[in-house]
Amino acid sequence: MKKIILTTAIFLSALSFQAAKAQVSFSINIGSQPEWGPVGYDHVDYYYMPDIDAYYDVPAHQYVYLENNNWVHRSNLPSRYSNYNVYNGYKVVVNERNPWVRNNVYRAKYANYRGRGNQPIIRDSRDARYANHWTADRRDDRKDIRNDRREIRDDRRDFRQDRKELKHDRKDARHDRGRH
């Protein structure tokens, strides 16, 4: 009798374990969405941007784009997209894991959305639920500008040093020619 009860308990536990695996977890991530994201979505995993055929990973705050035939995750878009404005470009919400695996489907499905710029964005919304949207992009931009300025300063300093050394080398060369 104990074996029957034990077997039944194990069987029921296995069934409940399978049922628990089938449950879907869904969370709200409005605060993680960037200010240039489209309004109206409580949860977003990715934005597909048809104009540049790239994605934005909302939870990771990274762009996903094709580079040398590989999909890469980066905090900024590459220079080839420097003319693309994330505020004006159309974004499609994609709540699928690794959507770039099926990029040909998204490219074909949303080809007609290229060039559209009439999409309301979070930055311009008066909806209170967007009051605390993700603003790190601006901080990142300011950080990038500071880094760029620092690199320019360093380059100028290096250039002045190189020029000074070149001047000194020329002076030494003239002096050495005068000895012979």
DSSP 102-131: GHHHHHHHTGGGTT-----BGGG---GGGT
* pLDDT given at position 90: 93
**Domain-located, residue 163:** yes
CA dihedral for 148, 154, 155, 160, sign (positive or negative): positive
Confidence band of 142 (pLDDT split at 50, 70, 90): low
Would you place residue 140 in the very low, low, confident or very high pLDDT band (cuts 50, 70, 90)? low
Summary mean pLDDT of the chain: 79
In a domain? residue 58: yes
Asked if 127 and 65 sit in the same domain, the reply is: yes
- Inform me whether the pLDDT recorded for 146 exceeds 80: no
| 53-84 tens-digit pLDDT | 999 999 999 999 999 999 999 999 999 999 99
- Asked if residue 1 is part of any domain, the answer here is no
Same domain for 65 and 130, yes or no, is yes
Q: pTM of the full predicted structure?
A: 0.58
Domain count, the chain: 2
Q: Return the higher-pLDDT residue of 147 and 83.
A: 83
What contacts 105, CB < 8 A, 6 or more positions away? none
Q: Which of 115, 134, 153 is the last residue of a domain?
A: 134
In this prediction, residues 135-142 reach a mean pLDDT of: 58
